[in-house]
Structure formats: structure tokens, C-alpha cells
């Protein structure tokens, strides 16, 4: 490579970084995209995150022919084909832009303006006017004796590519990742046990929502152990033995594999951020301001590595903020983000936006809550048509202004419904307006007509 100075250098092929690289490249800017592994072209989402996990969700919900092991194996093979195709398309998206070069290797800062890229014996030193760090996050393996060295330890990365179906799967952690995999593998036919240190799963959710989700998962065969503090993990001739304390007693659990689902941390180790003068937070994330600038004004951080919400769509919005800083008016920032929704892809999916009931009450707001079990919503025939009547819909409303404060939708199609609610909240649409809107039939959205017309179940 003759000219090693670029207008933009992006470290990490994630959603925000690749979108920014493509945008600037199409404008004729010289762009370098550095990714340490060709297996990660396109980033976490398409390779080891959203796309493969949700593909497994789909296969679990729509089982084909054959034994559980055969169905699981086919699902994994189909998922591999999907991610391979997406990876190729993502590489081509940048490789076909004349002013963009994709470099495979490990990057580290030498100084605020210079990055060294190493691939085997090959070393490049690159300079850039603007540098964007987009290295994402990685699973945390807790420091439990014997866990890290276990031959049966899995993170989400390994589990989605596992050739065999575990007959007995232990999951450490009852957060969103643990819940999704518990739902998927129970449907595939595994005996799933979730060990969680907290009093219940999904601690960010209201008690009634978490209880409803727990009931659905238990009916699917998932066992939960709350207040479980794992003290030891040991491999045996038949799998792994997990020792934990719960209820003042010591227990053991035998499993074929154990999934560590106890959170993710930003990937910053080995980047040489200290040499670049880039500060990090106590959690290891790169410290950024509302414009996503680091302590060096020409260096930005996007996506999971900056410590914000770990969602692909947040990384995409990060790219919009930086694009506006580089070639726009420079006014867009993270302060513009209002009401960011999320979905937990259990079956049926749980989607939420805004305040929980608990949060609204704690803030002293005048609250009323309307909710209805999906099975009781007469005006939602789609649920009965597709045979998925589990769950409930819940709205938290300001009883004085009729403002939508939040919603939790545990139902068929909730991953789509929540986007309509979010858009309504962003634009000040009241609960009554959402209630009285005209929706297609039969659809899941028309449930809003009935649920929002229901009498309050609670007021505060």
C-alpha cells in the first residue's frame, strides 16, 4: 500500500463503522476499514449476534422434520449459510467503493494519529484525519473456579455454532441473553436450567411482566433457580457438575454444557488507547461526549465499545451522529434519543419502551396502568389465527395528560408493535389517539383499540 494516510480510519467492521465508512467512501473520501478477522466482516450482529440468534429463534419456533438433534443440526447449518451470505454482502458493500480499502489485521494506536495493523508477519502503519473505534463488546466469563477451563463452557458465540444439541443445558444468568437462549433451546428439546443470582429473571422489568415471562418459559420446560450463587464448576466423564448455593444450602447440577450469560464488556484491550490519549470509563468503555467524541476530538467511538445501549440500531444511530459532525451541521447528538425500544426474542417476544410502572411511580408521576392478557383480547384475532395467545400487553399512562409513558408488550409480533408505540411516543401521540386509530384487520396492532380502552388496573 503506497499511500497510508486516510481521511477516515475505522477500527472494527460493526454496524456503525461500516455505515459511516460506506457513506464517506461514496463521497470520495479515502477510507480504511480495519477488521481483525475475515470471519467478522459485517460485525457482531450478522456473524455472532442478532442475525444468527434470531435465525435460531425462527427455527425453534417452526420445527421441521426429524429428531430434536437433527432439527437443531439443520438449524445450525442454515444459520451458518445465512451468516456466510450476509458476511459476503457486507464485505462487497465496502470493497466495491473505489476509495475504500478493507484491511484484515489487529489494530493498535501508536499515537493519536497513527494506527499499526498487524497480520502475521505483515505490519502496516496508517494515519488518518479522523479515526473511529467500533470494536464492539464480548461475553463476560465470571471468575467461578473451574468455569473458564471447562471443556463444556460456552458463550453465546460458541452456542450458536454448536454442532450437537445439549440434552442438559445450564445457563448462568437470567438476563436477556440467558432468557433468549433458554427459550430457544427448550423448544429444540434441551432440558434447560437457568441459575440466576438475583431474586428473579429480567430485573429491569416490572414484576408482573417478569412473572408472565417466567410462566411462559416454565411451561416450555425451563427450570429457574433464583438466588443461586455458583461456587464451582467441574468437568466429569459425562459433562459438567455445577455446585451452587441457594436458600442456605449447597446444591449440585449436572449438565452437558454450561452457557455463561452474565453480560458483555467493551473490547478495548490491546488497542493502545493510552498511547492515543483516549480515556476509558471504570467499566472499560471508551469515554465519549454527546457527539461521540473521545478525549481526542478527532477520535470517535461508536456502538457497544462506547458503553451505550448494546443494540445494533444504536450503533447505526451513532453513525448518523458522526456523519452529521463530519459533513453536516454538527447538531445531532445522543441527547436527541428519546424512547429507545428493545425486544427480548423469547417466544413470544417481549418488547418494551419508555418507563416501567415502577420507574414512573418512583418519579412521582400521576400514573394509570392498563393491561390485558393476549388470550382475553377479543379484538386481536391474529393471535388466535396463528395459535399464539400467550402473554400480555401493558401500557403506563400519565392519567392527567394522557401521555404514553411506557409500554411492555409480551405477545406475538411485539417486535413490530413496539416500533409503532415508540413512534407515537416520540411525536406526542396520546394514549387516546393510539386507542382510536384505524388499524388493518386481522392484525396484532388492532389490539391497541381494546387494551387502551380497558379500565385501569392500577393508579398511583
The 8 Å CB, 24+ separation contacts for 116-122 are 117/34
Cα 277 vs. chain centroid, distance in angstroms?
A: 30
Instruction: Tell whether the torsion through CA atoms of 405, 411, 414 and 420 is positive or negative.
Output: negative
**Beta-strand relationship, 137-139 and 122-133:** unpaired
Which three cell numbers, joined as nine digits, stand for 287? 469515554
Using DSSP's 3-state secondary structure scheme, residue 186 falls into helix
∠ CA 285-328-24, nearest 5°, is 70
Cα–Cα dist 15/288, whole Å: 18
Cα–Cα dist 326/362, whole Å: 40
- List helix spans (H) across 96-171: 156-159
Cα–Cα dist 204/351, whole Å: 12
Phi, psi of 399 (to 5 degrees): -75, -15
Residues forming a β-bridge with 35 = 104
Cα–Cα dist 330/342, whole Å: 27
**DSSP assignment string, 28-82:** T--EEEEES-GGGTT-HHHHTSHHHHHHHHHHHHS--SS-HHHHHHHHHHHHHHH
Cα–Cα dist 439/417, whole Å: 12
Q: Of 36, 303, 262, 259, whose CA–CA distance to 160 is shortest? A: 259
**DSSP assignment string, 295-348:** SSTTEEE-GGGGTS---HHHHHHHHHHHHHHHHS-S---GGG-----EEE-SSS
Q: Tell me the C-alpha to C-alpha distance, in Å, between residue 335 and each of 16, 154, 318, 339, 421.
A: 18, 37, 12, 11, 20
What is the Rg, in whole angstroms, of the alpha carbon atoms belonging to the chain? 24
Q: Which residues are catalytic?
A: 441
Cα–Cα dist 217/222, whole Å: 5
Amino acid at each position: 500500500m503506497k499511500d497510508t494516510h486516510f481521511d477516515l480510519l475505522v477500527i472494527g467492521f460493526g454496524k456503525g463503522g461500516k455505515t459511516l465508512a460506506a457513506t464517506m467512501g461514496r463521497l470520495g473520501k479515502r477510507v480504511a476499514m480495519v477488521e481483525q478477522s475475515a470471519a467478522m466482516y459485517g460485525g457482531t450482529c450478522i456473524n455472532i449476534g442478532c442475525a444468527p440468534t434470531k435465525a435460531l429463534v425462527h427455527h425453534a419456533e417452526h420445527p421441521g422434520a426429524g429428531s430434536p438433534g437433527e432439527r437443531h443440526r439443520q438449524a445450525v447449518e442454515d444459520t451458518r449459510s445465512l451468516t456466510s451470505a450476509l458476511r459476503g454482502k457486507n464485505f462487497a458493500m465496502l470493497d466495491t467503493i473505489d476509495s475504500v480499502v478493507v484491511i484484515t489485521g489487529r489494530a493498535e494506536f501508536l499515537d493519536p494519529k497513527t494506527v499499526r495493523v498487524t497480520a502475521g508477519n505483515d505490519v502496516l502503519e496508517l494515519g488518518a484525519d479522523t479515526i473511529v473505534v467500533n470494536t464492539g463488546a464480548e461475553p463476560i466469563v465470571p471468575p467461578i473456579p473451574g468455569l473458564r477451563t471447562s471443556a463444556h463452557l460456552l458463550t453465546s458465540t460458541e452456542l450458536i455454532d454448536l454442532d450437537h444439541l445439549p440434552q442438559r443445558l445450564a445457563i448462568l444468568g437470567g438476563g436477556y441473553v440467558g432468557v433468549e437462549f433458554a427459550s430457544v433451546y427448550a423448544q429444540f428439546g434441551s432440558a434447560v436450567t437457568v441459575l440466576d443470582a438475583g431474586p428473579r429473571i429480567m430485573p429491569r422489568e416490572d414484576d408482573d411482566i417478569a412473572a408472565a415471562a417466567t410462566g411462559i418459559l416454565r411451561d416450555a420446560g425451563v427450570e429457574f433457580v433464583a438466588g443461586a450463587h455458583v461456587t464451582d464448576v467441574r468437568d466429569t466423564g459425562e459433562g459438567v457438575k455445577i455446585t451452587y448455593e441457594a436458600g442456605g444450602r449447597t446444591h449440585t447440577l449436572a449438565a452437558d454444557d454450561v452457557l455463561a450469560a452474565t453480560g458483555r464488556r467493551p473490547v478495548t484491550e490491546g488497542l493502545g488507547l493510552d498511547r492515543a490519549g483516549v480515556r476509558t470509563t471504570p467499566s472499560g468503555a471508551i469515554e465519549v461526549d454527546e457527539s461521540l467524541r473521545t478525549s481526542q476530538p478527532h477520535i470517535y467511538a461508536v456502538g457497544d465499545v462506547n458503553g451505550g445501549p448494546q443494540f445494533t440500531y444504536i450503533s447505526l444511530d451513532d453513525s448518523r451522529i458522526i456523519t452529521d459532525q463530519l459533513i453536516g451541521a454538527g447538531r445531532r447528538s445522543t441527547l436527541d434519543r428519546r424512547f429507545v425500544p428493545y425486544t427480548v426474542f423469547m417466544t413470544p417476544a417481549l418488547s418494551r419502551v419508555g418507563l416501567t410502572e415502577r420507574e414512573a411511580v418512583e418519579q412521582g408521576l400521576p400514573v394509570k396502568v392498563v393491561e390485558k392478557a393476549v388470550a382475553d383480547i377479543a379484538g386481536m384475532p391474529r393471535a388466535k389465527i396463528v395459535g399464539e395467545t400467550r402473554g400480555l400487553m401493558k401500557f403506563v399512562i400519565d392519567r392527567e395528560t394522557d401521555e404514553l409513558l411506557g409500554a411492555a408488550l409480551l405477545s406475538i409480533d411485539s417486535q413490530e408493535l413496539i416500533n409503532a408505540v415508540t413512534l407515537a411516543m416520540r411525536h406526542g401521540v396520546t394514549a387516546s389517539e393510539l386507542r382510536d386509530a384505524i388499524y388493518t384487520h386481522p392484525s396484532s396492532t388492532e389490539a391497541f383499540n381494546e387494551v387502551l380502552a380497558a379500565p385501569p388496573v392500577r393508579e398511583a
